Amino acid sequence: MDAAWPAPDRQAVDGWVFRAADGVTQRANSIWPRRDPEGAAGFPGLLRGARSWYQSHRLPVIFQVMDGARTASLNAFLDTEGFTRQSETLVMTRGIWTAAASACAPGPGCFAELSPSPSAEWLQLWWSVDGRGGDPALATARGILEACPSLYALVRDSARRPAAVGRLAVPDGGTARWGGIYCMPTRPDARRRGYGSKVLQVLLEAGAGQKLDGYWLLVTAANRGAQQLYLQAGFAEASRYCYRQDPPRRALAGC
């Protein structure tokens, strides 16, 4: 998941990876706690270093923390530091040949395209729905996308307008090759017509052609509609994570 959405600025420190991307997306601007610290400084010392690093990048300190026993001690420490919990997210997975229920199919006149790079139309639709910020932020986001080998699907409606898009990230891995499904927005006035299902179908078929072993995707816990689409396509919840953010430090008033 880290390789599929790589932050351009990163530093590994005693089991934690600091990541920054000019504030574009929480994923690329959060700490990945790969393991608990081994040094004598422990959590407090690492957090001091993290606060200094992110302050130099003019960013808040945010952790991306997976659920489970392995992160219990970190979560307990962050609770004592007053870190908030945000954006609970499901990690869903499926095998390459997982049987899936038939999803809603788009009507006649649907056109699907697949490309190894994001076109201007692909970027415009994705950013208009999911993006935050102007052209500089979009340029940073595009750099994140293109830093990992990927395939980009675009589905057009009967008027040849982009209706939905999606991305299959295929990062270099070890013996197992998994692909990540990302960036799956549908144009607001084209929703509930099967375009998102068509994009997902195109990406899954592309993954089969890449001889992948399976797929993962990320969907917020609040997005029940998208979860239903992925369940119908054979995905199941494998884990969850949330973002833990340092509360803002109030400056002392002086006179």
Residue where one domain finishes, among candidates 44, 62, 89: 89
Quote the distance between the C-alpha of residue 44 and its chain's center. 28
3-state secondary structure (DSSP) of residue 8: coil
E strand or H helix that includes residue 210: none
3-state secondary structure (DSSP) of residue 86: strand
Same domain, 127 and 229: yes
Domain residue limits at 172: 93-240
Same domain, 145 and 235: yes
Q: How far is CA 222 from CA 74, 129, 227, in A?
A: 24, 17, 9
- State the greatest distance between any 2 C-alpha atoms of the chain, in Å, as a whole number: 70
Tell me if 174 is assigned to some domain: yes
Tell me if 4 is assigned to some domain: no
Same domain, 77 and 180: no
Cα distance between residue 217 and residue 1, in whole Å: 9
The domain tally of the chain equals 2
Residue where one domain finishes, among candidates 89, 113, 130: 89
Same domain, 85 and 100: no
CB 46 within 8 A of CB 82: no
**Strand duo 236-245 + 16-20: pairing:** unpaired
For the chain, give me the number of helices (H) and strands (E)? 6, 11
CATH number at residue 199: 3.40.630.30
pLDDT tens track of the chain, all 255 residues? 999 999 999 999 988 999 999 999 999 999 999 988 776 568 999 999 999 999 999 999 999 999 999 999 999 999 999 999 999 999 999 998 765 544 455 655 678 899 999 999 999 999 999 988 899 999 999 999 999 999 999 999 988 999 999 999 999 865 668 999 999 999 999 888 889 999 999 999 999 888 899 999 999 999 998 999 999 999 999 999 999 999 876 544 444
- Which of 177, 179, 176, 178 shows the shortest CA–CA distance to 168? 179
Strand partners, 92: 217, 237
Tell me if 252 is assigned to some domain: no
pTM for the predicted model, two decimal places: 0.89
Burial of 99 (0-12, 13-18, 19+ CB in 10 A): exposed
